[in-house]
Structure 1
Amino acid sequence: MNRRTKAVVLAVALLIAVGVSGSAVASGDGDGGVRPREAAALTGTAKLYRPAGDDITFSFDAHLAAKDNMDPHKAHGTFRFSHYDANGAGGWAEVKVDCLMTGGKVAVVTGVVTDGNTPHRGKRVGVTVHDQGRSDRLGYTWIEEGEVADVPTCLSAAPFETVAKGTGDFTVLPWRPEYPSGQG
């Protein structure tokens, strides 16, 4: 074998070795301790823009584990929202996540209000986030006090609100459902 052929063979062998070991680490099969990528996530905090000076904040820490990739109802985590007017009147709520679906840079998360001082306690609420860097958008859905219906899981309004300049740090990890081959 000439020098050039040996160099090409060696280079290909190194690339294959690196590719195989990199795949093992990324899948969690190697000694690298790296876990597989989670199936979906929504994290971050932002304040909504309101010209009247209301302080409205949404914070998310919602995740769907890789092992639950095909069941967004197994999502876990929490999100929190608060709304206080310019005089300090208002309330807050903490929500236990019960569904998370993402597509591209858009996430829909729902959950039941577990704590807070709003009339939504014990009710399901939904929020949609569009991750656009520092100009994120947000929409929300809940049932008003006195109504008997409940928001369905994995459902929310289009992201019609804008976040206050410089506050949007939402991050959406896109969901990649894996369907059996030969279907669809």
Structure 2
Amino acid sequence: MKRRTKIAAVSFATGLLIAAGTAGAAVASGAAIHHPQREAASLTGTAELYRSAGDDITFSFDAHLAAQDTRNPRKAMGTFRFSHYLHGDGAWAEAKVDCLVTGGKVAVVSGVITDSDLPGAKGKRVGVTVHDLGRHDRLGYSWAGVGSPTDTADLPPCVSSAPFEKVKPGTGDFRVVPWNPAL
């Protein structure tokens, strides 16, 4: 049994030395070693908003800007979803991301509604702002001043309101990856 253990250990060590030698030779020869690039920006996570009247409001995000697109936030991809119900009445919508800009712990994402049970919402662009504050995240949305996502006619990409809403304690897990374009 000891002999098998020694043979296995020698074989394993030899394999490690070969792998290390190959990697060292690649570096010495100038061959590029590829490290995965961090994406240029992202906004992910889900939270419920706090309302004293008991409204059930949820926002979920899966928005990403690839590293190669760092100069163009309009190339962001992904989706976000939101819903608002009070006493059984309300609606939900899902939007396809068309712009994402982040700075520090703040993100502004916009998208065009692709699916919803809110009459007149499909095809409308909406924007949402998130402030990633750990357990005290905040959120704002483009229809704050007009009352409904259906009333955001001609909204440009990456436009929203200040993050004035509070996230319900224990529900926020938003994560913002800051955008750092070379200026």
**What range is the shorter-chain TM-score in?**
0.7 to 0.9
In structure 1, the residue corresponding to 2:68 is in which secondary structure? helix
TM-score (normalised: structure 1): 0.77
Spell out, residue by residue over 1:67-105, the C-alpha distance to the aligned partner (whole angstroms, 9 max, x if none): 0000000000000000010x2111100000000000000
Q: Which residue of 1 aligns with 2:4?
A: none
Query: Pick from 160, 164, 173: which aligns with 2:164?
Result: 160
1:102 counterpart letter in structure 2: T
Residue correspondence of structure 1 range 65-144 to structure 2 within 5 A? 65-85=66-86, 87-118=87-118, 119-142=120-143, 144=148
Segments of 5+ residues of structure 2 without an aligned counterpart are 1-23
Q: Which runs of 4+ in 1 moved over 3 A?
A: 142-148
The aligned counterpart of 1:37 is 38
Q: Residues 142-183 of structure 1: CA distance to partner in whole angstroms, max 9, x if unpaired?
A: 36477583211011000000000011100000000113xxxx
Percent of pairs with identical residues: 65
In the alignment, does 2:182 pair up with 1:178? yes
Contact 2:127 2:158 in 1 (8 A): yes
**Ranges in structure 1 where 5+ consecutive residues have no aligned partner:** 1-20, 180-184
SS of 1:37 mapped into structure 2? coil
| CA RMSD, 1 decimal | 1.9
Partner of 1:7: none
- The alpha-carbon deviation at position 122 of structure 1 amounts to 0.8
Contact kept in structure 1, 2:77 and 2:97, CA below 8 Å: yes
TM-score using structure 2 length: 0.77
Q: Which has the larger radius of gyration?
A: 2
Between stretches 144-153 and 120-129, larger displacement belongs to 144-153
User: Distance between the aligned counterparts of 1:58 and 1:145, measured in 2?
Assistant: 14
**How far apart, CA to CA, are the structure 1 residues paired with 2:46 and 2:150?**
30
C-alpha distance in structure 2 between counterparts of 1:47 and 1:70, whole Å: 32
